[in-house]
Each structure stands twice: as C-alpha cells, then as structure tokens.
Structure 1
Amino acid sequence: MTTSPPTDEIRQIVDQAMQAARHETAAGNLDQALALYRAVFELQPGHAGAHHALAALTRQTGDLAAAIPHYAAALEGDPATAAHWLDYLAALVEARQFSAAAELLALGRSNGLQDPALDDIERLLAGASAPDAAEIDAAATLFAQGRLDEAEAAARSLVERFPQHPFGWKLMGGVAHRRGAAEQALHGMAMAARFDPDDGEALSNLGLLLMRANRLDEAEITLRRAIDQQPDNADAHNHLAITLAELGRLLEAQASVCAALAIAPHHERSSITYALVLQTQSRLTEAVAAYRALLERSPDNTDAHSNLLFCLSEVSGITPEELFAEHLHYGRQVARNVAPPAPFDNTPDPERRLRVGFVSGDLRNHAVATFIEPVFEHFAGRPGVELYAYYTHTLNDATSERLRGHLDHWRGVSMLDDAGLEQLVRADGIDILFDLSGHTSFNRLPAFARRMAPLQVSWMGYPGTTGVSAMDYVLADRKFLPHGRFDHLFTEKLVQLPLSVPFVPHAHAPDVVPLPALENGHITFGSFNRLSKINRQVVGAWAALLRAVPDARLLVAGMPAGDGRGQLLSWLEEEGIAPQRLDFHGRAGMVEYLTLHNQVDLALDTFPYSGGTTTMHAGWMGVPTLTLAGGTVPGRQSASFLEHSGLAHFIASDAGDFVGRGTAICADLQALAAIRAGLRGYFMLPQSDTMVRVADGVEHALRLMWRRWCQGLPPESFETPLPPAPPSQS
C-alpha cells in the first residue's frame, strides 16, 4: 500500500522546481526549463504560475498556438493576477484572434480589471477590424488604373485605421514596387504576409522582392510557402525557378519553371526563364528554339529577343555575318512602332559643358561597375561634363552608394516605361546618353530606339553591336576591335580609345603564389568561365590539349549545384579523358574563387564567346589564358587583354593552333613562372596617373562627337588620339 507525500512536501518540491525552471530559462536552457515545468504539472496540473511561465517560454520559441492554452489555464487558475489577463490578451491579438480577444477584454472589464494597458489593447482591437469590401475594391481599382498617388493615399489610410489588416500593407507594397522603391515595397509586402500568412499572391510577390534583393534563401522559403497556398500560381513557380537558378540549382530550377508552364503554357515570363535555364546549362540549341518559339507568339517581347541574341553569341558555328544579321533584325523590330523623334532644343555650342547620361542596371556589385567606376571617379568634378545616372535595377548596395557619390545626379528608373524614361532624359537636357548594357539584363534598348538624346553611345556592357539604328557610336579599345576589321559588324560607328579602361581588382584578392607545376610536377589547366560558354567544340579542344600533355589535370570552377556537370563529364568521357584528371568546384565567394587560381598554371578559354572579366581576374592572380580568337566580336575579349599584356603568343587561330600553342607553353615552365610573377604589372590600376589619360581620352572622344553634332554632321568612325603624358617630376 502506497501513501501520497504530504501537501507541504509537494508544495516544497513545486517551489523548488519553479525556481529551478526560472533559473534555466534565464540561462537559455529552454529544454531543461520545459522539463521542470512538466514535472510541476505532474504534481499540480492547474498550477497557474507554471502555466503562465510555460506560456511565455513557448511564445518565446515562436510557437504561439501552443502558448495560448497555457495562458488560458493560468488565467483560470489565478484570475486575480492582472498579468494573466494582459499577457493572454496580448497573445490573442498577436495571433490575430481578435474576436476572442474582444470577448476576453469585455470579461476582464466586467470583473473590475483596471490597467492602463487595457486601453491600448482596446484601441488596437478597434483598429483591427477589417475595412469594408467596397473600400478595398475602390483602392484596388486605383492601383489597377495606375493612379499611384491616390492608391498610395488610400493605402496609408487603410494602414493607419486597420493596422492589423493585410490589404493596406499589400497595396502599400504594390505602389512602392511600381515606383521602384525596393525597400518600401519589401516592407509592405512582408507586413501583408505577416498579417495573412495564407495569402499566396502576397507571398509570391514577397518572394520576388526578396529574390531581387539577393536574399535568395529567404526568397526560396517564402516562394515555397506561396506555392503551398496556391499550387496553381504560375508566377510563384516562375519566381522560384529564377531563385533556384541564381542559387546554381539548375535542375530544380528547370523543374519549377516546367511546373509554371504546365499551369500556363504561354506564360511569357516563364517561357523566358525556361529558355534561360537551358542556356545556363549550355543546352544552347534547345534554348535558341525556346526563345524563337516565344518570339513567334510574341514578336514584340524585347527581353526574349535580347536573350536570344546573347544566346546566339555563345553558339558554336554561327558566322559573324549571321550574328550581325540577327542583331539587325532586332533593331528593325524595336524601331517598327517608333515615331520620328521630336526635335531637341539642346544648345549647339561645341565647347559648352556637356550633360552626359549613363543608362544601366549594373551600377551595383557587378562586373560592369568594376570598369565604369574608375571613369566616374576621374570624371567627377571635371568642368567639361555633368554626369547623370539612369539606374534600371531596384537593388541598391554598397557599390551603388559609392557610384552615386561620383555622379552629379542619380535617377532610379526601374519602373519607368520607355516613354517615361525618354521624357525624363529629355527634361534633364542630356546631350550624350550612354547605354552600358547592350543585350544583357535590365537593358533599355527599346527606349534608345526612340532617340532620347541628340547623341547615343553604347559602351562596355556587351561585346557587339546593339543593332539599334538610333545608336550612333560604340566606344572600343583599339586592340579589342582593331580599326577596319570589325566596322561592318556594327550599326554604330566605332570610336577607338587609345587606352583600355582599367580593371578594379578585388580588394581582398590573395597574393600570387609561385607556379604550382614547379611543386606538383604536373600542369593544371583551369576554366573559370560560366557553364553556358562551354560547348562540345570547346571540350574537344581542351581534351586534345590534355591528351597532348598527358600528365596535366583540369580544374573547372563555377559548376552549378546538382547534376550541372553531367553533360561536361559525358563530353570529356567521349574524348577519353579519365575522371581522375578532373577537379570540379562549385560556385563560391569572390575570395575563394580567386584563391582557386593558386592551383592553376594556365587558364583555358572558351569560344566563340571568350572570357572577359574572368580572364582579367585570372591575370590578376598571375594566370595567363590560352584563347582562340574567333571572327565574332565576343571572341575578341581575351585576345585584347593578352595583347595589352604582351602575351600575343597565347592567342590561337584555330583548334589545332590552340593545342600547339598550349603544348609549347607547358614545355617551358620557367617562362610560365616568370609570366605569373609579373602579370599584375601589366594592369593599369584606377589610381595610376595613366587613368587620368584614359579619362582625358574618353572626354576628348565625347567632345569630338558633340562638335560634329553641332555642325550638323552625321556620326563617323574615328580614333581618339592618345593624350600627352603629364611632365615627369624631376
């Protein structure tokens, strides 16, 4: 026969357990505290203090649904304690259980509960009711009609009067997004999703905004929640596909975009994503077919058309003339519905200060920014130019802020249509307007086709012609596009710059190490170009070189996650290259990516689209690139850098020459080691005196263009003379 412990002993044990539980909670040992509270309930199931403490603990861990029953039990066990009422009410409000909170508040008042906090809760509950359907419909109509000022006023009124209702926040986010205010849009949509976590549309929009803010992991989680709520939301599936592609998970991205197209077979944005995922996997023939199928249905989809041109520039076997013809077709297409431009009222004074604008979506942490920033920096404060930026992306990062500091005016234009952008540029009185994108993301070439400024110039963002007849000039490095050899492949007139634009190396780039082959006893080739540039012919040339240098290994970096390397492995296997000679690395941060070059002796280029920034990163790490310079403009990028660096013997004319030159280079390790040790010396750094001459050359080119316009003369190709070097200091 057992006997129960005395009541005093139970009380003592409970008090000790409660004290220990509070101690463990304060120390952050939540599991131990939870176990102690459960021990209390075994002895006193209705212990109000334990229920209240456990409710607070559970709420702290984010499980509000589990906390509410404990708050209720605490109140039932000890209704005389005001905190039990107040915390229970706060939890119900946080859970948006407004009816239950209102009933509890009324019960507390009837029981004589008095506390200033109750007034706050009462006001909050008064504002937590929903607006009527007519007000919501009226505000939504304002937004749909593009009456953004009125829609914003309606959204603010809704948020102020109904702070717990999601629609006002959702409308606020939508208005901010239309205006290109990325942070405000993200905040508004996040609040809407918080107050209605089951709204698939709000979650889809929030996921898109997170993705554009480069918060990719959060975007993936949010978009998967959106799809759980709305499995038939094609936009959500497409946004998830883009997010996964940005994360390098290409097979998952392909599955997501196929899900979007299964829901909406002619969904244009998903069709572009599908083609882009194929392109990124180096399935170029399929990607081209997908772009062309979309353009047959929607010939005015200029985003798809630009993507097609970029994709074609990577396709092996396309001739320079065929690629140029495709660009001409784009130019005719965007000019088809453009009215003749209105006259300009810019003062035709050949020597006055020029207003120069730059249109780009890459004024952020992007390769283009590493080239344009030194130009902005050395133009800043010059009396002859006034600089304007027209930024077409929504993401503003540290690079954007730094660039903004070099410019006189900064315009965020991501949400302006072509007519709105033209109106703004004309209102600013721009004399010379630069395109820094070409056929890359966030370009505004259709707006350039409208003729926004007296002179329009393409530069830096794209290796080739825009195809737009209203683009007057393209600036080019004289070694990149030698005079007379490529003029026929441009609708623009070529302006040869005397010096190349400097490259800004990464601030935390590792030091150059000695040639790895001297220690390893074998050559290591490396490729750091994106997968879409690596085609079957490229792999054939690499494999032939690996067979010619039988001890060599191949390191391939930047591989996408999952099975992205499968096609490449298959091609190398067909060429008889053993897997043991291969070393694959996934995408990495910049420092890790640069550090990989310390394992590589010689970089192998891709063709017909050669390396650009990739080749320069390798050069900064002391690794020269063996390239095959083709007939198309994109095939000239590495060759230009190598010629500037005195390494013309690293430029092959065909696949056989590629193998022959590579074999000869590998046979002289001492020469390769010497190149490695001295390659950084060929870089013109932004802070060098030579950079002043580069800026002088660009400004002189702008002045020559402007003088011709003032004289009523048409654009013509010319070579900018090299400005004199400053006198040496003795």
Structure 2
Amino acid sequence: MSTLPPSADVRQIVDQAMQAAHLETEAGNFDQALALYGAVLDLQPGHAGAHHAVAVLAIRAGDAEVAMPHFAAALEADPDQEAHWLAYLDALISARQFSAAAQLLQLGRTHGLQGPVIDDIERQLASSGAPDSAEIDAAAALFAEGRSEEAYEVARALVERFPQHPFGWKLLGGIYHRRGEAQGALHAMAMSARFDDDDLETLNNLGTLLMRANRLDEAENVLRRVIARQPGNVDTLNQLAITLSEQGNLSEGYATATAVLALDPQHENATITLALILQAQGRAAEAVAVYRTLLKRRPENIGARSNMLFCMNEMPGLTPDALFREHLHYGELVERNTAPSLHWDNTPEPERRLRIGFVSGDLRNHAVAAFIEPVFERLGQRPGLALHAYYNHTLNDSVTARLRGHLPHWRDITELDDDALARLVRADGIDILIDLSGHTSFNRLPAFARRLAPLQASWIGYPGTTGLAAMDYYLAERKFLPRGQYDHLFTEKLVQLPLSLPFHPVTTAPDVGPLPALANGYVTFGSFNRLSKFNREVIGAWGALLRALPDARLLMAGMPEQDDHALLRAWLEQEGIAAHRVEFHGRTGMHDYLALHGRVDLCLDTFPYPGGTTTMHAGWMGVPTLTLDAGTVTGRQTACFLEYCGLHHFVAHDVDDFVAKGLAICADLPALAAVRATLRERYALPTSDSRTRIADGIEHTLRLIWRRWCQGLPPTGFEATLPASPADAPPRSA
C-alpha cells in the first residue's frame, strides 16, 4: 500500500471518480461503476472505499473469489469502519468459510468490535461448524437400514447444532420423503442445496421433489444445473425428460428420454418415460411396443405392465376380448406368487357398523376427487359406516384438505410397501376395501392381489376390469354398463348402483350462445380431449368429414402449450386438410376453456378412448358430441351420456357411420341449434336430496355385499335398487 499522501489534484480526481461510480451503481450500470473504481485504485491503491465497493459488486455478481481480497484490503486500509468488518464477515459466512470468519471475528473483538450484531454473528458461527465424519456415517447408516425414527431424531439434532451444514438437512429431507411428507422433504432438501450447491445428489433430489410438487420451471432449472456438471447422468436426464413432458414440451421430452436410452439402453425408468411420452403424443401403438420390449426383458415389472394396460385403452384395433385377455394376464402374473389372506378377524355381523377403506392416489385436484367428494361428505356422517382413506400420493392441496375433513381416518401410504400396507389395513379392521384407481397412476393393485380385506371392490377410477381374481366387485352405474352386456369382460362381479353420480357443472360458466354456424355460414368442429387420445384413425375419420364439408373449420383446445403439435399437423396434412382450417389452443383457465365452446357447433370425439368430463362440460355449454361406441367398456363413456340426453343419433358404431352421422347432423343446422338451446336443461343437477339418495344407494349396496359375506356366500353380480328413486343423473366420467 502507498504511504505517501496523495496530492490535492489526485484527491480531487479520486473524489469525483468515487462520486461518479456511486451514481453509476445506483443507476444499475455496474460495469461503468467497476471501471471507475478501478481507475481510483490505479491512482490510490489503498483507497478503502473503492476496495469495499468493488467487493460488494463482486458479491452481487456471485463472485466471492474476486470479492474476498478487496474486503481484506478495505479492512486493512480502514479498520475503524465497522461496515468493513461486517461485510467481510458476512461474505466469509455466505461462502461457508467458517474457520476464516471465526478468526476474523476474534481479531475484530481485539480491535474493539462489539454490539448485538457482533454477538449474533458469534452465535451463528458457533453453530456453523460441521459434525465429524463418524457422526455423519452413523446417521447415514440409520437411514440406510430403514430405522427412520432414530434417523429423524439424529437429523433434527444435527440441524439444530449445525444449521448451516448441508448433511443434516439432506438427511431430514430423505426422512420426510420416506414418510410421504412432501412439503417437509422439499424444504429440507432446498436448505441442503443452499448450503452445498455442489452436491449433485442433493440437487437431483431437489429437482425431483420440485417436479412432484408441480413446480416444473424450478425443477427444470435445478435438473439442468446437474446435467451441466454431469452430462452423462442418466437418472437426472430421465427426471428432466419427465419434467419437460409434464410442462407440455413433449418433443424435447421425447428427445431427452431417447438420449438417455442411447447412453443406457437398459435403463428401465427411461424406457417407461419414453412410453409415457409416446402415449401422450397420441402414439399409443408405439408406446405399447416399447412396453412389450421392456416386459420381454423384465416380465416382473408389474408397474410397466399396468401402464401398458391403460395405454391399450387408447390403442385402436384391439377388440374388447383381446383387451380383457391382457388384463387377465396381468392378474395371473401378479397373483401367481401371491398368497392371499383367507382368514379374517372381522366379525360376521350383518348389521354392525362397517369399516370401509378407500385406496387412491387421486384424493387431490383430480377428476376422481370431484366425483367422490360429495359421496364422502354424505357417507362420512353415516353412523353405520366408518370411512378410512389410504392416500397414495405425496401432493396435498386444498382438495386434499377438504377430503380429510370428511374422512376421520386418513393414512398416507406412499412410502409403505405392500407388506406394510397389508398390516395397516388389517390393523384398521377394514371390512370392505375399495380401489379408486384401477390401472391409472399411483394405483396399489399388487397389494389388492394379497386380499387386504374380506371384501374388495373397484370403482370410479378406471373404466374396466383390474384383471385380479382377488377383486370381488366392480361398482358401476346402470346406464354405463347395462346388466348382462359387459359382465364377460370383468374378473369382478358387476354391481349396478341404484343411482349415478351426477355431473357438477361450473357455476360461473358462461351462458349458452347461439349456434355459431348460423352466423358464420360454415360449421366449426371442436375437440377438447387430451392429446393422448388422438390417433391416426381418429384424424382419418375427422378428415373425411372435413373433406366432405370444405368450408368447415376445426378448433382443438386443451393442447400442451409448449408442444408444436407436429404429428397432429402431419396427420391432418395427410388427410388434405389445409393448416388455415385448423386452430390450436393451449390449456387455459376454466372460464376461458368453457367460453371457447361458444365458437364450436359440434364436438368430435376420440376413439377408442372417448371423452368423459370433457363431453359433459361441452354439453353444459350446449355443444353435443359426435362419438363412436366400438363396444369396449372404455368406449361407453360419451355414448352413455348422449343416450341419457336422448341424443342416440349422435352415437356411431364404426367410422363410416361416424362420417355419415356427422354429415347428417351438419345438414340440419336448425335441429343442431335446437339441441344447443335445450341441452343444458337435460342435465339432472345435483341437489341436497339427490346427494343424500346417492349416498343411501351406496351405503345400501355396501350393506348388501357385506350381508352375503356374513352368510358365507360368494360374490355375485346384481342390480341394487332403492324404493322411490328419483330419475338418474347423467353418468360420471371415468
């Protein structure tokens, strides 16, 4: 450092430069400010203020390595400025240089540094050390051995003693995740990453947790940080592929999953990710081929086989019998090495209070929850029933909170294996256990194969059989599966409920407007189904209609926002449909989604997996749907609704019939306008009395099958009835 006093001219120049640099800093012109501070230090290398300012700007830019020497120089030049001590200490602590910070603090104390702020820093440093390696190894061993409660106590103690050390937080995050406490796991893992952003395992865990919490943009950012440092990390690349597809960026998700398999062709999770993305793109047949390749190599992967069954519902060309055989094969594989329980402690008293359990991963903002919530609300108050929920998902939202209020016994089972779940259900004394998932995500069908309760049933979540011999009943609405017509496609005995679950329309929905074609002079077809339901045959049928009506338009809504729809565009081009005739809309809020129906004259359904809730939303907006009922259980959804509304002529039975019926409907616009004007009136809206009657019917049905068990009788199909039942409500969506 220079010890000579600066001349008056130099001092004036320095002061002017410092003032100018300060103004540039306030204006956010940091590069100009740094240049001016640099000029000051050229003239006066020991200028404390310039060193301090350069250090602060370096910290702001995230460059602690540049900042530290300038903090030291500022302090050396002017040790009487407390701000120089505090800024240097803060920078050292933020950089986790605790030993250097402690030495600096000790030096500051000898220099007379004191006060509440200094005391707080001293306390912070006292807790910012690190546990020794033996302590870390012992805690990690507890977690690895599954001794979660002991590991939790150790993790809490570590976090309290060393709140700025990453290990305690990381361990705590793993324990919370194992418990199914998603928010706790996410917070703890974020804290661990904050204190050590070089731990790639922690960052990968954090990215996965963010993805599961639906914080997709944050998840993508964290996962890309890992990949930037480890480009060949196949597990992180797979998580990124899932995140991208959840964002609706199917093309990049597909490319990323393909890249994983190029690096590791045997990567099971990436193979499943690729199949899921193919399905989401409307390429169900290709997805099934990917699943079959995996299952040939790993036939014991029951989860992949269940995924494949769901995908097959969207694959054209499968007959109902062929689809049923695939479900049977699943059941045989699952139950082959499973010894189901046959003896129960449940008291066979026909009229006693029944303990009813519901197993689902959809007790959240999901279509299943929308239909089951009114049932839980009523059944939860019945003195003859005790309801238990077994929730198989880590996401807890406002819907979950409401459902918890209706079910006094709530169990989070995400982290329980089948043995633990079986013990829990038996300990709860469940009489009838009801699956609400079927072959959809987050199901626990392999556990049901063990026969967790004396009676087991499947309901609502999946339009078809589980394939399990251990599943006694499938609960169905009478109009959805008319008695005697679909029994041969189920391993379960079909029970027709007395009343159907009603559709709950959006109360703030826009009013039904006039038929757009009357003003436009051309018909606008619409589709609001998810992308995975589309296939080449569907677009072929739509294309035939559009070619026959060359002025007609097609509006496709609810599309993934980040997807380029290249495959759909190619299919439409192959059908000779010009791009200007097709309009794509991304996902939007419910009000805008419903308002789009005001531009549509007739919805075109997908097949073999038609619309469900989307069809009923469209009907509420006055827009009927032209559907194709190919005879599968899945294919009944829209047809059931239309038949209820008296619109049988909107139900086709093959592609030629679909095109012919579509042309006939469009040829009589006054009739279509009349349907639009009256369709909302055809809904049987839920009332307090109807909800009570529906709950009566469900309780009565459960009591009937319980009485059979008490009498030692095997399950049988039947139609449950209630006296003086009101008219049935429209069918529910699967």
Give the structure-1-normalised TM-score: 0.93
Q: In the superposition, relative to structure 1, how do residues 661 and 265 fare at CA in structure 2: closer, same or farther (>3 Å)?
A: same
Deviates more, 1:648-657 or 1:207-216: 648-657
1:290 match:
290
Q: Distance in 1 between matches of 2:220 and 2:511?
A: 36
Q: In the superposition, relative to structure 1, how do residues 420 and 507 fare at CA in structure 2: closer, same or farther (>3 Å)?
A: farther
- Residue 494 of structure 2 is aligned to residue 497 of structure 1: no
Q: Distance in 2 between matches of 1:8 and 1:196?
A: 44
Q: Distance in 1 between matches of 2:495 and 2:363?
A: 23
User: Are the counterparts in 2 of residues 54 and 70 from structure 1 also a CA contact under 8 Å?
Assistant: yes
Q: In the superposition, relative to structure 1, how do residues 92 and 556 fare at CA in structure 2: closer, same or farther (>3 Å)?
A: same
Q: Any residues of structure 2 matched to 1:57-68 within 5 Å, and which?
A: 59=59, 68=68
- Residue 75 of structure 2 is aligned to residue 78 of structure 1: no
SS in 2 for 1:701: helix
Q: Deviations over 1:243-276 (max 9, x none)?
A: 1110111121112222332343322222211111
Q: Any residues of structure 2 matched to 1:502-517 within 5 Å, and which?
A: 502-506=502-506, 508-517=508-517
1:380 match:
380
SS in 2 for 1:31: coil
User: Are the counterparts in 1 of residues 93 and 101 from structure 2 also a CA contact under 8 Å?
Assistant: yes
User: Are the counterparts in 1 of residues 364 and 397 from structure 2 also a CA contact under 8 Å?
Assistant: yes
2:346 match:
346
Q: Distance in 1 between matches of 2:167 and 2:627?
A: 57
Q: Deviations over 1:383-433 (max 9, x none)?
A: 222211111000001111111112122111111111111111111111111
SS in 2 for 1:639: helix
Q: Distance in 1 between matches of 2:591 and 2:19?
A: 54
1:31 match:
28
- Residue 171 of structure 1 and its aligned partner are, at CA, apart by 0.9
Q: Any residues of structure 2 matched to 1:173-188 within 5 Å, and which?
A: 173-188=173-188
Q: Distance in 1 between matches of 2:401 and 2:477?
A: 28
Q: In the superposition, relative to structure 1, how do residues 12 and 167 fare at CA in structure 2: closer, same or farther (>3 Å)?
A: closer
Q: Deviations over 1:194-245 (max 9, x none)?
A: 1111111111111110011010010000111121233332221111111111
SS in 1 for 2:627: strand
- Residue 328 of structure 1 and its aligned partner are, at CA, apart by 0.4
Deviates more, 1:669-678 or 1:637-646: 669-678
2:412 match:
412
Q: In the superposition, relative to structure 1, how do residues 116 and 508 fare at CA in structure 2: closer, same or farther (>3 Å)?
A: same
Q: In the superposition, relative to structure 1, how do residues 76 and 591 fare at CA in structure 2: closer, same or farther (>3 Å)?
A: farther
Q: Distance in 1 between matches of 2:493 and 2:626?
A: 30
SS in 1 for 2:635: helix
Q: In the superposition, relative to structure 1, how do residues 617 and 30 fare at CA in structure 2: closer, same or farther (>3 Å)?
A: farther
Q: Distance in 2 between matches of 1:694 and 1:549?
A: 44
Q: Distance in 2 between matches of 1:628 and 1:253?
A: 32
Q: Deviations over 1:628-651 (max 9, x none)?
A: 001111111111111122212111
Amino acid in structure 2 at the alignment position of 1:429: G
2:260 match:
260
User: Are the counterparts in 2 of residues 605 and 628 from structure 1 also a CA contact under 8 Å?
Assistant: yes
Q: Any residues of structure 2 matched to 1:289-688 within 5 Å, and which?
A: 289-506=289-506, 508-561=508-561, 564-688=564-688
1:220 match:
220
- Residue 673 of structure 1 and its aligned partner are, at CA, apart by 2.1
Q: Deviations over 1:670-698 (max 9, x none)?
A: 22223223322333444453222222211
User: Are the counterparts in 2 of residues 350 and 707 from structure 1 also a CA contact under 8 Å?
Assistant: yes
Deviates more, 1:140-149 or 1:110-119: 110-119
Deviates more, 1:353-362 or 1:390-399: 353-362
Amino acid in structure 1 at the alignment position of 2:75: L
SS in 1 for 2:175: helix
- Residue 153 of structure 2 is aligned to residue 156 of structure 1: no
Q: Distance in 2 between matches of 1:194 and 1:677?
A: 59
2:4 match:
none
User: Are the counterparts in 1 of residues 340 and 449 from structure 2 also a CA contact under 8 Å?
Assistant: no
Deviates more, 1:690-699 or 1:110-119: 110-119
Q: Any residues of structure 2 matched to 1:6-21 within 5 Å, and which?
A: 6=9, 13=16, 21=23
Amino acid in structure 2 at the alignment position of 1:416: L
1:137 match:
137
Amino acid in structure 2 at the alignment position of 1:404: R
1:243 match:
243
Q: Distance in 1 between matches of 2:709 and 2:124?
A: 65
Q: In the superposition, relative to structure 1, how do residues 681 and 137 fare at CA in structure 2: closer, same or farther (>3 Å)?
A: same
SS in 1 for 2:214: coil
Q: Deviations over 1:156-213 (max 9, x none)?
A: 2322232222111111111111111111111111111111111111111111100110
- Residue 708 of structure 2 is aligned to residue 711 of structure 1: no
- Alignment identity in percent? 66
User: Are the counterparts in 1 of residues 40 and 50 from structure 2 also a CA contact under 8 Å?
Assistant: no
Equivalenced residue count is 719
Q: Distance in 1 between matches of 2:90 and 2:28?
A: 24
Q: Distance in 2 between matches of 1:514 and 1:436?
A: 39
2:731 match:
none
Deviates more, 1:675-684 or 1:568-577: 675-684
Give the structure-2-normalised TM-score: 0.92
Q: Distance in 2 between matches of 1:224 and 1:689?
A: 54
Runs (5+) with no aligned partner, structure 2: 1-6, 728-734
- Residue 35 of structure 1 and its aligned partner are, at CA, apart by 5.3
SS in 1 for 2:406: coil
